[in-house]
Structure 1
């Protein structure tokens, strides 16, 4: 049975997951890498799309909508006499070299990027992060042309940066999956004692690798649909433990001897 057939059966059949316990550990490791790939693809796609659109949008703003500016001696300078606020597809851009707007006002705008008089502000998921210009090295002078040149450099490096970002995400996802399977396998040892099944940690580890399939595919689909799932970690563990419990229950109990 190939890995994709095992994936399909793991979505609905605890009995087949129980049968997989006799397979070699290397095959289960390969299966976890497959699940990690499935998990990483939607995130990588949206990250890549948003990153490309973001750099293009920012480059267009610098050329057409934001006046020439310099950041020097810890302050933003331009010819603008009033703050400039723009909104594009749910993202608010604030440019204020006058010092009239505060980072708290930018935070109230939702998802936003702000270039303020003395600091740059980023607001995502209701979390505010600020970066003071005074952190730049002394005598550093940054202009809008420098920023535009940097964006062009980043755009030219996208064929390299995107695969590196995917590789980093894939390694992180794989590591998280392996840790999760190891923890789930220990829970499996508790379940096997409760159900009076004679299996080892190796068996629960292999079954755990397949028991996370349903939860993994569900959250991958939700990610593709850009749908937030409340209490996602709790739901993931609840589903995975339930599937593992049902799989262990399918294992024949040892016969009692007179």
Structure 2
């Protein structure tokens, strides 16, 4: 059975998921990478779009609206005694050399870039990143330097966006494998309760297919940019229910 047919069957058939426990581990790992690729596509698309839009918005705003600033010795310096906040094209730019803005207070805001006292903060399509100035440069950066850098960075987007996509994908794949390992551990309790003769390796394979339905659901929600309340709990609950149904489809062990 090819990987696409397995994907289709895993959406509704615990019986087929139970049969997948005998397949090679390589094919199961390939399926996990495929499912991860599918699930990160909305995040990659919106993150890339947000970064491109933010560069354009900042480039248009930096010369006319932002105050003069300088980043030296890992800190931001301006002549403003209060934070400066600008909103342009659904994008928020914050310049704060006072240390008054807490990055944790920006987590609920979308499409935001903040030049804070000691680091630069970016929130694009729900993906938060923060980089200290000392990691970005050991010298001095002025407002004019940043303007010139953004102009050159725009031409590098065909390279930068794929690199960001790879980072997101690798991180998501790592988290997916951890999730599967934990679900398979919970499956040990379920198989003992049901009296089924299954090993951890069988349960890991079955778990890889049990997460298909919630993964597709949350991919659709991400594509629609819709937040699901208690999403992690829902994801785990549905995955465990499907795994439970798949375990029940395994024939009971009959001792000799």
Corresponding residue number in structure 2 for 1:48: 48
RMSD: 3.5
Change (3 A) 1:88 1:247: same
Change (3 A) 1:55 1:123: closer
Corresponding residue number in structure 2 for 1:178: 177
Q: Kindly state the Cα deviation for residue 88 of structure 1 after the two structures are TM-superposed.
A: 2.5
Change (3 A) 1:83 1:7: closer
Corresponding residue number in structure 1 for 2:241: 242
Change (3 A) 1:120 1:179: closer
Corresponding residue number in structure 2 for 1:8: 8
Map residues 24-35 of structure 1 onto 2, 5 A cutoff. Answer: 24-35=24-35
CA distance in 1, matches of 2:96, 2:184: 55
TM-score normalised by L of structure 2: 0.80
Matched, 1:252 2:251: yes
Q: Kindly state the Cα deviation for residue 211 of structure 1 after the two structures are TM-superposed.
A: 0.5
CA distance in 2, matches of 1:63, 1:39: 39
Corresponding residue number in structure 2 for 1:143: 142
CA distance in 1, matches of 2:70, 2:5: 59
The count of corresponding residues between Structure 1 and Structure 2 is 248
1:78-118 CA-partner distances (Å, limit 9, x unpaired): 6x999864322444334579x8x9537xx69x7455558x6
Change (3 A) 1:20 1:71: closer
TM-score normalised by L of structure 1: 0.80
Which structure 1 residue ranges, 5 or more long, are not aligned? none
CA distance in 2, matches of 1:178, 1:72: 42
- Report the secondary structure of 1:46's partner residue: helix
Which structure 2 residue ranges, 5 or more long, are not aligned? none
CA distance in 1, matches of 2:100, 2:200: 57
Corresponding residue number in structure 1 for 2:101: 103
Change (3 A) 1:183 1:95: closer
Change (3 A) 1:197 1:230: same
Conservation of the 8 A alpha-carbon contact between 2:10 and 2:209: yes
CA distance in 1, matches of 2:81, 2:187: 66
Q: Kindly state the Cα deviation for residue 210 of structure 1 after the two structures are TM-superposed.
A: 0.4
The structure whose Rg is larger is 1
Corresponding residue number in structure 2 for 1:166: 165
CA distance in 1, matches of 2:241, 2:122: 38
- Report the secondary structure of 2:227's partner residue: coil
More displaced stretch, 248-257 vs 27-36: 248-257
Once superposed, which parts of structure 1, at least 4 consecutive aligned residues long, lie more than 4 Å away? 67-75, 80-85, 94-97, 112-116, 118-125, 129-133
Change (3 A) 1:11 1:145: same
